[in-house]
Amino acid sequence: MTYIYKYNSPLGGITLAGNGESLTGLWFDGQNYFPHKLISESIESELPIFTQTCNWLDIYFSGRIPGFTPPISLNTTQFRKAIYDILLTIPYGQTMTYGEIANIIAEQNGVECMSAQAVGGAVGHNPVSIIIPCHRVVGADGSLTGYAGGLDRKIELLKLEKQ
């Protein structure tokens, strides 16, 4: 069973999804790749995982670094999981390029190179925005490239982190 919960952030509504034990999704309402069927196929409920996630978000949106990460369970490919694991290592207030992530993935897999575009596709489909910080990924020249939640939100998230 999938459960959902609504959170009101300074940047708009956020929908949380969980399996009862772990967070399985976190999207700005209306963002690209939002799983629209989720709303009709889920039960809205207040669960401990949502309380914990809302606490994390409250701390984050107050401009502080949360000292914990809620349990996350992802139903995704190994490639995307590897990308999301790298995203979780990007420190608060810092950024990494798609190319840097591609180089890490290539090294992990013992191959000469990996496509930065493939990395971009995985980053764009991140199902747990903000906590898995896809907003911290930038273009090779430091430019702020797309963000499924909207470029305006990416800018605000980075400003919040004092970028």
Residues annotated catalytic, as ranges: 134
43-44/23-28 β-pairing = unpaired
CB 157 within 8 A of CB 130: yes
Q: CA–CA separation, 78 vs 86, rounded Å?
A: 12
SS3 assignment, position 15: strand
Q: Residue 150 corresponds to which amino acid?
A: G
Give φ, ψ of 15 to 5 degrees.
Answer: -105, 125
23-28/3-9 β-pairing = unpaired
Q: CA–CA separation, 49 vs 90, rounded Å?
A: 23
Q: What is the DSSP-derived secondary structure letter of residue 3? A: E
